[in-house]
Chains A and B, each alone.
Chain A
Amino acid sequence: MSESQSVIEMMRVSKTFAGFPAVQDVTLSVHEGEIFGFIGPSGCGKTTTVRMLCGVYRPSEGLVRVLGTRPEEFDQELRAQIGYMPQLFALYPTLSVRENLDFAASLYGVGWRSRGRQRRKLLEFVELWDHQNKLARDISGGMQRRLELACSLMHNPALIFLDEPTAGIDPILRAKFWQGFRELKAEGRSLFVTTQYVTESEYCDRVAIMNKGRLIAVDTPDNLRKRAFEGEIVLVRAPGLGHRHRSLFSGVPGLRRVDTSVADQARVIVEEASTAMPHIVDALKSAGLNPESLEEYKPPFDDVFVALVGKEHVDA
């Protein structure tokens, strides 16, 4: 995707609060029509970054461009193209689900006639159609998050910022949320999603990993995994396979290293799994070992995150 299609650009952006660096030297770009995951532990600077992108905060250093414009220069038309779901509850508890949606639509100047169809579509999308007359305070926490999501979409934005939309939500609902995000992406919208659930990176087209205000890596989930473990992992299971067979794989092309810490199996880290797998089978057979299984292993993103943070720490 070319640079001209970027909907978000951050160039060496930092933000400090009373001398405390919340975000340091972040450079990234988000392309039109992609789901961009912004991942990191609590307090790593995700919300600060989103707020800078939405124009709530002014960066202390660096350049931010959203939809080609610096946030401080946003006009009302441009703001109308942006949807924002804040991290904290911003619904009116004494208004009904429907009234909250209508208020959100009104803030963006969406008229009565045009908002009806969008309201129905979104209520069905977030599965709140049957609850539209309930007060926001009377629905569950998960429903409230879904309502907030619907509120941020009432004006049909092209670029959507979702700050920890799945925080505090059960795994089933989280999966539904991500399904919804994919549907939004399919409609051609760009999504910037922050989350502290590292495993949710799998749902993103590209992921930025933040730790302690610094950007550790930005890439596709697969590339990040590769970067974390310095290659792709082939998991081999064969009875009798052990530490003494480590040298067996020296002829495998693109070999990085071999982990035989578990009996009867080995993790062979290679540059490209598909190329290496036939050579691994040959090597096992040459040693008289009969492979029970051979597959590319994709470690959970938690491990990827830990590995990347660990590497960053070592590099630092």
Chain B
Amino acid sequence: MLNRLIRVSSFVRKEFAEVARQPRLVLSLILGPFLILLLFGIGYSGEARVLRTELVVPPGSPLEQQAKEYSESLGKQLRLVGVTSNEAEAKRHLEQREVDAVVVVPDDSLDRIARGEQALLTLYHNEIDPTQSGYIGYFGRVYVSEVNRRILLHLTQEAQRRAGESQTEIQEAQDAIKQARAAITSGDRQRARDALERLDSSTTALAGLVGVSAGVMQGVKQNLGEQGAPSDADTLLDNVQKLQADSAELRQSLDRQDQSLVVWDAQLRRMEGNLSQIDTVIQHLRSIPASVLVSPFTTQTRTVAPLQPSFVIFYAPAVLALILQHMAVTISALSLVRERLLGAIEVFRVSPVSPMETLTGKYLSYLLMSIVIAAILTLLLATLLKVPILGRWQDYAAGLVLMLFASLGVGFAISAISGSDSQAVQLSMIVLLASMFFSGFVLPISALVWPIRVVSYLLPVTYGIITLQDVMLRGMAPSVPYLLALLGQGIILFIISLLIFRRQFVRA
């Protein structure tokens, strides 16, 4: 047993001594990841890209001036660098990458809108990056929505202004009702009919004036899917209709002489009541700002997470996991290959050391080495970049150690099947590349379809990133299934590496 311990420990001492003799390697292992994060922190603004945009408008279009005004107020992601009527020239600017986007307003836009059709703004770009291409498409939709909103705002303001003019019409309608009452009382039916016709005329004008405001309110209500009590808009339109209907009915009744004075007076009172309600509703509609009517809803975002990290802090656990996995994979991938190339395996085969002892010794040495490096990196991140660890230290340590154990398994499996240094490095780089794409480091795992997502869950770093983010930034305990997955992965890879290595140990 003692001999076995001595043989296993021999690898630990050897590997540590070899690494210690390469200070530049140690420095790059520790400082490399830290400097990457530091540079990322200093350099990454997180702001959306500013698009240099050129607008193509029909010659002599008033849009030229409006576009300039709009561009100054639409937000900093749009920088209008020119307005032209020459579409070909604008596209050439785009091809030469002098501008990022060209927006073409069609010649017949006003005609189309007048015909009740949508005018099509075409947004040209010169991106091959799908993300950037998507960003420009999204950008276009957002800005067209904003332009549409502003047009709607303008229309609403106009409607409210016109609603203000309804006071005159209401006054005239009230006067007409009074005149009709006086005429009916005096028995002058012709004068009463004339007064009621003036009332109809005022009511029709009133309907036109309040119609737009009422329509806007009606639209808001419908978009909310609101049921139940009638809104101001409903009341307004109902009252206008009732007023018109009552006026018509009163005229007919006067012609037929089929009612008493008392009934006619009651009808007139009802009409006065409706008119009063219309006035109240119009006053209320006018009191709502047009911007609220056009954009009744706005949003605010609040998080229930314990921390709202900066980009650097958010990416720190993922970078740490990725770098540690890559380091563990690379050093272990080269390990057995180098022994083989050096001729040491031949010496091991003759000596009493077994494949199990060799592999255990190497695992232990690299695991200890990786833990030391991870500890130093953690200290640097916590002290210099102020990356927090909200969770328990033991959870953090458990996640890291298990991820390192599984990563070493990947490296030793690579080492066992590689015939040369370059092959081992190549395979390690493939693991790194796969980790970049499939671990959730850059792209969310949820964006991958299921059979491909299996690749994600074959990579230790996938579990590592989630575990470290949970523990460091959410203060949560790590997911036990994830920890078990890492442990299982590590054990399986150890067994696979041992089987392959043992086969190589056996006599040819």
Contacts and interface: CB of A to CB of B under 8 A. Distances in A.
Interface of A: 51, 54-58, 71-72, 76-77, 79-80, 82, 84, 86, 88-92, 94-95, 99, 102-104, 106-111, 135, 161
Given A79-B351, A106-B13, A57 B6 contact: no
Contacts of B27: none
A183 to B, nearest CB: 23
Contacts of A91: 342
A91 B346 CA distance: 12
B348 A94 contact: no
B352 A80 contact: yes
A55 to B, nearest CB: 6
Nearest to A135: B21
19 contacts: A54-B350, A58-B508, A77-B352, A86-B343, A86-B346, A86-B347, A90-B346, A103-B10, A106-B6, A106-B13, A107-B348, A107-B353, A108-B351, A108-B352, A109-B3, A109-B6, A109-B7, A111-B6, A161-B350
A71 B507 contact: yes
Contacts of B258: none
Given A56-B508, A86-B343, A106 B9 contact: yes
Contacts of A56: 346, 349-350, 507-508
Contacts of A51: 346
B4 A109 contact: yes
A267 B498 CA distance: 65
Contact of A84 (B6, B14, B350, B507): B350
Nearest to A15: B508
Contacts, number: 89
Contacts of B18: 92, 94-95
B17 interface: yes
A75 B344 CA distance: 20
B2 interface: yes
Contacts of B2: 109, 111
Contacts of A58: 507-508
Interface in B342-376: 342-344, 346-354
A119 to B, nearest CB: 14
Nearest to B6: A109
Contacts of A135: 21
B17 A95 contact: yes
- Sorting the interface of chain B by its residue count into under 10, 10 to 19, 20 to 34 or 35 or more gives 20 to 34
A77 B507 CA distance: 19
Interface in B308-360: 342-344, 346-354
B351 A92 contact: no
A110 B6 CA distance: 7
B7 A106 contact: yes
A92 B346 CA distance: 14
B96 interface: no
Contacts of A161: 350
Interface string B1-44: 01110110110011001100110000000000000000000000
Nearest to B342: A90
Contacts of B346: 51, 56, 86, 88, 90
B357 to A, nearest CB: 9
Report which residue of B6, B18, B350, B508 has the largest number of chain A beta carbons within 10 angstroms of its beta carbon.
Answer: B350
Contacts of B10: 102-103, 106-107
Nearest to B19: A94
Contacts of A54: 349-350
B7 A57 contact: no
A307 B87 CA distance: 96
A103 B17 CA distance: 11
A90 B14 contact: no
Nearest to B358: A107
A51 B10 CA distance: 24
Given A56-B507, A76-B352, A103-B14, A88 B343 contact: yes
Contact of B13 (A79, A89, A102): A102
B507 A90 contact: no
A92 B14 CA distance: 9
A72 B507 CA distance: 8
Nearest to A96: B17
A94 B347 CA distance: 18
A103 B9 CA distance: 9
Contacts of B4: 109
Given A86-B343, A108-B7, A109-B7, 14 more contacts: A56-B349, A79-B351, A84-B350, A86-B346, A88-B346, A89-B342, A90-B343, A92-B344, A95-B14, A103-B14, A106-B6, A106-B10, A108-B352, A111-B2
Closest 8 CB pairs of A and B: A106-B10, A109-B3, A76-B352, A90-B343, A58-B507, A94-B21, A84-B350, A88-B343
A102 B9 CA distance: 11
Contacts of B3: 76, 109
Contacts of B343: 86, 88-90
Given A90-B344, A95-B14, A107 B351 contact: yes
Interface centre among B17, B18, B347, B354 (most CB of A within 10 A): B347
A55 B349 contact: yes
Q: Name the residue among B13, B346, B352, B508 with the largest chain A CB count within 10 angstroms.
A: B352
A258 to B, nearest CB: 51
A193 to B, nearest CB: 16
Nearest to B22: A94
A84 B347 contact: yes
A81 B10 CA distance: 19
B507 A57 contact: yes
Contact of A79 (B6, B22, B352): B352
Contacts of B349: 54-56
Nearest to A94: B21
A231 B13 CA distance: 58
With most chain B CB atoms within 10 A of its CB, the pick from A72, A92, A106, A109 is: A106
B27 to A, nearest CB: 16
Nearest to A88: B343
- The residue among A57, A82, A108, A110 with the most chain B CB atoms within 10 A of its own CB is A108
A109 B6 CA distance: 5
A57 B351 contact: no
Contact of A57 (B14, B21, B353, B508): B508
Contacts of B7: 106-109
A212 to B, nearest CB: 21
Interface string B468-508: 00000000000000000000000000000000000000011
A104 B9 CA distance: 12
B507 A107 contact: no
Contacts of B507: 55-58, 71-72
A103 B358 CA distance: 12
Nearest to A56: B349
A80 B3 CA distance: 11
Contacts of B354: 76
A118 B508 CA distance: 33
Contact of B342 (A92, A103, A109): A92
Contacts of B508: 56-58
A214 B290 CA distance: 106
Nearest to A91: B342
A82 B346 CA distance: 13
A99 B14 contact: yes
A107 B342 contact: no
A77 B343 CA distance: 23
B427 to A, nearest CB: 24
